[in-house]
Amino acid sequence: MRLFTLLAPGVPVMRAARRTLAPWDNLTCSGPLPHDPYAGSRSPADICSDSGSLYDEARGLGLTYSLHRPARPDGLLPVVIYSAPMNWGGRFPATPSAYYIAEHLARAGYLAVNIRSTDSDRFVLPQDIATVPDPRTYIRDAIRDPERPRNRFLDMGFLLDKMLGWNSTGALAGHIDGERIGICGHSFGARTAMALIGERIGPARLSYRDARLKAAMVYSLGPSVAPGNLAPVYGDVRVPVCFMGGSRDFSWDTPAPPADRVRPYYWTNAPVQYKIVLKGADHLTFPGGRAETGVANRRELRNLQFIRSISLAFWDAHLRGDAGALDWLRSGLGDALRGNGRGEFRLGSEAESSKRLS
């Protein structure tokens, strides 16, 4: 089932994608995000943020992270981990780490843990990517080598071990809910999230699944798997998952259409999953960098609000078990998306259960 008519066979994808933006979408503007279509019943909490670093002596690798949380935590906090894109450096500068999502979750009573940088990226990239004659080809081949990114996947288990230890001491002692942990990520961070919830990696179909993770949000997943039967790749994904992409979300390294970024939706065995494509969003929409630097257009700001709203509703529904959030995802979201994107959800692995949101 196609998400957009612009992706239908026989229609030139690039030309169709350009038609998704109205003239006013090209106007740069700044300011607060538009109205939140998903308004939770709780009042926004005061939040605070912190940052730090962790070092895994067994592997000789470290990582840096940021925390966003309620300033005065009350009871157990559900946890959402964000895995950042690969830090390309040089010609491919690092993108912001989606703090607009982390702050939104913290105000709603979550502990948001954002990975900022990892030493493990050096196994994928040389020390100075600018010295590589053809960096795009180099990066594409490095990502698709199943051995080179494995330490990025192992970073997540290491972080979870350390994070759960914070329950014993410090400002978060007694406030981390180890039974309600989700993971999300953008680009290669999305690939990392998929690996941690069950995607099989490489020809050997290696598994890095971590049973402590109960749900996942996948932003603009790289189309790095071959076409064909993908059941052996995604069949072990068995937790609720939401795939998000954009109508302008083309891959820079392959002639892949935006629909490829949400293709796993058709192949997992998740009990419930969603796929959402936002009108006018491209690969750099999701980290929020253009809004941070004041060069986002109106369509971009609207899409960032949708990303925040849908993300919070998904976590409320599938980490907190909030029936109202679940109803909004399957009913109210369709009305909110009308004219702004398309989506659907599916219960279980049967394609016949797929229902459009708008």
| Sites in the chain below the pLDDT cut of 50 | 1-29, 90-93
Buried b (16+ CB within 10 A) or exposed e, 54-86: bebeeeebbbebbbbbbeebeebbbbbbbbbbb
pLDDT for the residue 271: 94
CA-to-CA distance for 54 and 133, rounded, in angstroms?
33
pLDDT for the residue 125: 62
Is residue 215 a contact partner of residue 181, using CB atoms and an 8 Å limit? no
pLDDT for the residue 124: 66
Residue 24 phi/psi, 5-degree rounding, is -70, -15
Domains and CATH numbers, the chain: 5-356 (3.40.50.1820)
pLDDT for the residue 222: 80
Two tokens at 68?
């966003």
Tens of pLDDT, residues 90-145: 444 455 679 999 999 999 999 999 998 888 877 666 555 566 777 667 766 766 66
pLDDT for the residue 49: 93
Whole-prediction pTM value? 0.85
